[in-house]
Amino acid sequence: MSAGLSKNQNIASWVVRVIAAVIFLFPVGAIPKLMGDPYAVELFNQLGAGDAGRYGVASMELLAAILLIVPKTVVYGGILGVFIMLGAIASHLFKLGVVVHFTTVPGASPENPEANPMLFGLAIVNLIMCSATVFLNRGALPFGKSSGAAASNREMT
C-alpha cells in the first residue's frame, strides 16, 4: 500500500492510475502513434507537427504510463499526464476542433470525412484521471512532506 493512504484511497489511486495508463498507451495513445496508425499520422499532420511531433508526444505518453504504474513515481506520472492532456485539450480547442474530421484515413475522403468526437472526450477523461492521481498521491511530493511532518508534530503537542 502507498505510504500515507488508507486502503480505500490506495484502491482509488490504483484505479485512476491504471485507467490513465491504459488511455496513454492504447486507444489513441503511444502505441498507435509509434506504429504509424493512419489516424495518428493525420492528426499530427493537421496540427502541423508531423512525424516528429507524433513521436515526441508518444514518447511522453509512454513515459507517463510507466511513471503512473511504478509506485515511487506515481505523482510525477500524474503531473506529466496533466500537462500532456492540457496540451491535447488546447490542440482540440484551438486547432483541431472538438470533433476531429479525418480525410485521409481508409474509407474517408475530403468530400466524405470521418468525424471522431471520441478524442476530445478521452482527453477530458484522462485529465480527470491524472488530476485525481496527483491529488490522491500529493503526499509523495517533496514539498508536501515538510508541511505534513509539521502538522504531525503539532498534533503530538
Q: Is residue 1 part of a domain?
A: no
Answer whether 47's CB lies under 8 Å from 33's CB: no
Q: Is residue 17 part of a domain?
A: yes
What confidence score (pLDDT) does residue 152 get? 45
* Torsions phi, psi for 57 (to 5 deg): -65, -40
What confidence score (pLDDT) does residue 155 get? 46
Mean pLDDT per 10-residue interval, the chain, length 157 residues: 79 96 94 96 96 98 98 96 98 96 92 93 97 94 60 45
- The domain of 18 spans 7-156
100/125 Cα distance (integer angstroms): 17
> Which residue from 44, 34, 39 is spatially nearest to 106, judged by alpha carbons?
39
Q: What is the DSSP letter of 105?
A: S
What confidence score (pLDDT) does residue 5 get? 84
Q: Is residue 36 part of a domain?
A: yes
Q: Is residue 2 part of a domain?
A: no
Q: Is residue 136 part of a domain?
A: yes
What confidence score (pLDDT) does residue 3 get? 63
Overall domain count for the chain: 1
The dihedral through the CA atoms of 118, 95, 53, 126 has a sign that is: negative
Q: Is residue 46 part of a domain?
A: yes
What confidence score (pLDDT) does residue 145 get? 58
